[in-house]
């Protein structure tokens, strides 16, 4: 979302200022995440995610190859 930084600028500044206090737990809030985080259902290694993407890529290349042969 290109305007996300504009939308969260003021709150982000407050969070960063609070995070500079050693006793604050605001540091955990200092990094915003995208909308996709709501669709995550489990924690898994990055390797697993990358291998899934590679498998999907191979499947799609094969599917497109079949379409081209027609």
Does this model's pTM top 0.75? Answer: no
pLDDT at 26: 82
More confident residue, 7 or 64: 64
Rounded CA separation 30/14 (Å): 9
Give the C-alpha separation, 15 to 26, whole Å. 6
pLDDT confidence tier of residue 2, bands split at 50, 70 and 90? low
pLDDT tens-digit map of 10-52: 888 888 888 888 888 887 777 767 777 878 889 999 999 999 9
Average pLDDT over residues 46-64: 97
HSE toward the beta carbon, residue 25, CA cutoff 13 A? 0
**32 near 12, Cβ under 8 Å?**
yes
Region for residue 29 given its phi and psi (left: phi exceeds 0; alpha: psi -120 to 50; beta: otherwise): alpha
User: Please, are residues 19 and 27 in contact by the beta-carbon 8 Å criterion?
Assistant: yes
């Amino acid at each position: 979302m290109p305007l996300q930084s504009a939308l969260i600028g003021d709150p982000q500044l407050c969070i960063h200022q609070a995070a500079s206090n050693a006793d604050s737990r605001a540091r955990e809030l200092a990094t915003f995440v995208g909308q996709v985080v709501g669709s995550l259902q489990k924690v898994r290694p990055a390797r697993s995610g990358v291998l899934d993407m590679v498998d999907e890529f191979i499947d799609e290349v094969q599917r497109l190859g079949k379409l081209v042969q027609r």
